[in-house]
Structure 1
Amino acid sequence: MELDVFVIGGVGVDTVVRVPALPLPAVETIHVDPVESYVGHTGHGVALGCHLLGLRAGLADVIGDDAEGYRIRRLYDDLRMPLHVALHPSGTRRSVNLVTPDGGRLALYDARHPAGLRVDPDLWRTNVAHATHVHVSIMDFARDALSDALAADCTISTDLHDWDGRNDYHKDFATAADIVFVSTSALRADAVDWIFANGRAEVVVAMSGADGSYLHVRDRAPLHIPAVDLPDRPVVDTNGAGDAYVAAFLARRLDGVGWYDAALAGSIAGAWACGSPGTHTDLITAEELAVRSRALG
C-alpha cells in the first residue's frame, strides 16, 4: 500500500488527570474531575493528524499484548488506518498527564521498554519503501529505521521534543531528518546551528507554546511565527498540540506549499488541538484548516 506519511514509533495510552494547579499541594487527597484515558503519544498524534487532514497515513510500533495494546489495535481498525506492531512483554507505553484549568500540563511518562530494545526491521521496511514521507519518533528502536528511510530516498522528519542540544541520544535523529521539530523548553542557543552543521536538515522548527514557533530554514534568517488565537476554542488542554502542529506542517508541505505556509498551518492546528480536553480527541480536519487559513488571510 502506498502511504503519504508513515510514522515509526510513538503510540501508547494517556491517562489525563485534571488538577487544580501545579505543583500539587502537599496533602493526602485532592478531589479531581473524572479521570479519563485516551490512545495517544507523539507518533499516534502525527499519524492521526495526517489521516484527518486527508493523507494516507500509517504507523508501526512496539506495543504490549495487554489491554492498552488491544485498545490501540481496535482504534486503528475502526479508523481503517494501517498499523504494524511488534509485541513485547514489557507492555504498552503509558503516561499520566496532570492538566491544569488553563491547559498547562505535567506528563509522567512510563516508557516501559528496556534500554537497547531492538526489533525485526521488517516491522517498517516494506512501508518505508512505499512511503512518500517517513516521520521517525525518538523511540530507541526507531533509530534503526533511519538508514532504511535514507536508502528509500523518501523525506524524513523527527520531533526531538525537549532536547537540550547536547544529549547524544537525540543526535542520530537530528542529523538524519530533512525536517526537524524541537521544543524550545530546554534548547541551547547553538543547537539549531549544530543541526545544520552536522545533519541534512532543510528546516528546523522550534516550537515554543504560547510564544508560537521559530522557522529556521537553512541559509536564511529565522522567522518567528506567532501563536494563533482561536477565540471560539479557548485553551483547555495542551496535550497533543505539538503533534497536531507537526501533522499539519507535513500535510501542507506535502501539498507543495512553502515553509512559511506550512508553519502557519501547524500553528492553526496546534491552537485547534488546545481547544478540546484529552489527547488527540479533536484534531483539525482538512476542511476546517482551509477555513481557518483563509480567515487569517
Structure 2
Amino acid sequence: MSSEYDVLVLGGSGVDTIVYVPELPLPYADSYMIRPGIETRAGQTGDFVALGLGSLGLRTHHIDMIGDDPSGDLIRAFHRARDIGFTEVPLPGGTKRAVNLVDPDGRRLSLYDDSRSRDSDRLPEDLVRKLAAASRHAHVSITYPCAFTLPLLREAGLTISTDLHNWDGENPYHEAFAYGADVVFVSTTALTDTERTMRRILERGRAEVVVATAGSEGSYLLTAAGDLVHVPAVTPREPVVDSNGAGDAYACGFLFGRLAGESPERCALYGAVAGAYACTVPATGSDAIGRAALLAEAAAITGSRTAATDAG
C-alpha cells in the first residue's frame, strides 16, 4: 500500500525579521541606517525543509503549532502559496519569531524569541499517529513539542531524520533527537571534535548515517560500516548572498537521494548542490532548487570529477 506523503515534516514553523547589518559582530552604536531595509517574512527551519522537499517533487506535509496572530497568518499564507499541506495546532504563546542579522558576506546571527514556548506545548498524539500512518518518512525539527513525537513515529514504522543545527555535542536537550533518528544532520560550528561526536551518535542511537555540514568546507559523512568521508562543497552558480537556509536545503537534497535509494555519497552530493543553491537566495526571499536542476547539476559535477580523475 503506497503512502499519501513521502515526508512528514514536524515542527520548525516561525517568522523571521531580516536585518541587514554592515558587519558581524555588530559594534555598539546609538543607531545604524540600514539598507536594503528590514523585512519580516515567514520561514524557519521546518518551513524551509517543507519548501525544499516539495520543490524536489516529494509529496510533503507539515505539522506544527502556531499562534492565532499576524505572524501565524504569514505562515499560513506561505504554505498556501506554495501548495504545501499544513496542519496547524494552536500555540497559546503565539507564533515563534526570530530576528536574523545578515552581514554583506551572507553570514547570519539569529536571535530567537524564547518567550513563545511553554512546557505544556504538545502536538496531539492522535493527529501525529494519523499523519504518520500516511507517510513514508518523518523529518523532525528540534523544537520542544517534537521530542514527544519520536516514540509515536517509531511506533508507526517510519524512518526519521533530524537536524541538530549548532549542537555543541554536550547539551542534553538534543540527545533525544540525536539518538532517536535514522539520519542525523549537525553543523560543525559548535563542535570541538566533529568525528567523535558523529561516532557517539552512531554508537548510542539508531542512526544509520550522520552528516556534519561545514559551510564552505563542505560536509562530512559517517556510516556505521565506513570511515569518515569528506564531501567537497559545491561552488554556487550565482553570487553568494546569504547562508540562511543552506543547512535545511542540504538536508532536503540528501533526503531526496535517500528516499530514491541512492548511496550516502550520492545523497551528500545532492545535499551539497541544494545547499549551494540556497546560498544564492536573499534572506528576505524563499526559493529552493527543483528536481531537474538538482539532477542536472549533480550529473555535471560527477562528469567533471570523473574526467579529472581519468586525466590524472
TM-score (ref. length: structure 2):
0.92
Residue identity in the other structure for 1:16? I
From 221, 234, 238, give the equivalent of 1:233: 238
Residue identity in the other structure for 2:231? I
2:60–2:85: 8 Å Cα contact kept in structure 1?
A: yes
Equivalent residue for 2:294? 289
- Whether 1:118 and 2:96 are equivalent positions in the alignment is no
- Whether 1:196 and 2:202 are equivalent positions in the alignment is yes
Return the alpha-carbon distance in structure 2 between the equivalents of residues 229 and 107 of structure 1. Answer: 25
From 174, 185, 188, give the equivalent of 1:184: 188
Return the alpha-carbon distance in structure 2 between the equivalents of residues 83 and 237 of structure 1. Answer: 27
Q: Which stretch has the larger CA shift, 127-136 or 67-76? A: 67-76
Offset from partner CA, 1:108-150 (integer Å, 9 cap, x none): 1114212452342234221111111000111111111101111
Task: State the 1:173 CA deviation.
Answer: 0.7
Return the alpha-carbon distance in structure 2 between the equivalents of residues 12 and 50 of structure 1. Answer: 18
- Structure 1: runs of 5 or more not aligned: none
Task: Report % sequence identity.
Answer: 47
Return the alpha-carbon distance in structure 1 between the equivalents of residues 247 and 113 of structure 2. Answer: 19
Task: State the 1:218 CA deviation.
Answer: 1.1
Return the alpha-carbon distance in structure 2 between the equivalents of residues 206 and 243 of structure 1. Answer: 12
Offset from partner CA, 1:189-221 (integer Å, 9 cap, x none): 221121111111000000111111000111310
Task: State the aligned residue count.
Answer: 296
Return the alpha-carbon distance in structure 2 between the equivalents of residues 201 and 116 of structure 1. Answer: 29
Equivalent residue for 2:46? 43
Task: State the 1:32 CA deviation.
Answer: 0.9
- Whether 1:141 and 2:145 are equivalent positions in the alignment is yes
Equivalent residue for 1:269? 274
Equivalent residue for 1:3? 5
2:10–2:146: 8 Å Cα contact kept in structure 1?
A: yes
Secondary structure of the residue aligned to 1:54 is coil
TM-score (ref. length: structure 1):
0.96
From 70, 76, 79, give the equivalent of 1:76: 79
Equivalent residue for 1:224? 230
Task: State the 1:57 CA deviation.
Answer: 0.4
1:13–1:93: 8 Å Cα contact kept in structure 2?
A: yes
2:14–2:44: 8 Å Cα contact kept in structure 1?
A: yes
Return the alpha-carbon distance in structure 2 between the equivalents of residues 46 and 117 of structure 1. Answer: 22
Residue identity in the other structure for 1:269? A
- Whether 1:158 and 2:133 are equivalent positions in the alignment is no
1:162–1:185: 8 Å Cα contact kept in structure 2?
A: yes
2:101–2:108: 8 Å Cα contact kept in structure 1?
A: yes
Check 1:204–1:116 CA distance in 2 against 1; reply closer, same or farther (3 A cut): farther
Return the alpha-carbon distance in structure 2 between the equivalents of residues 104 and 78 of structure 1. Answer: 28
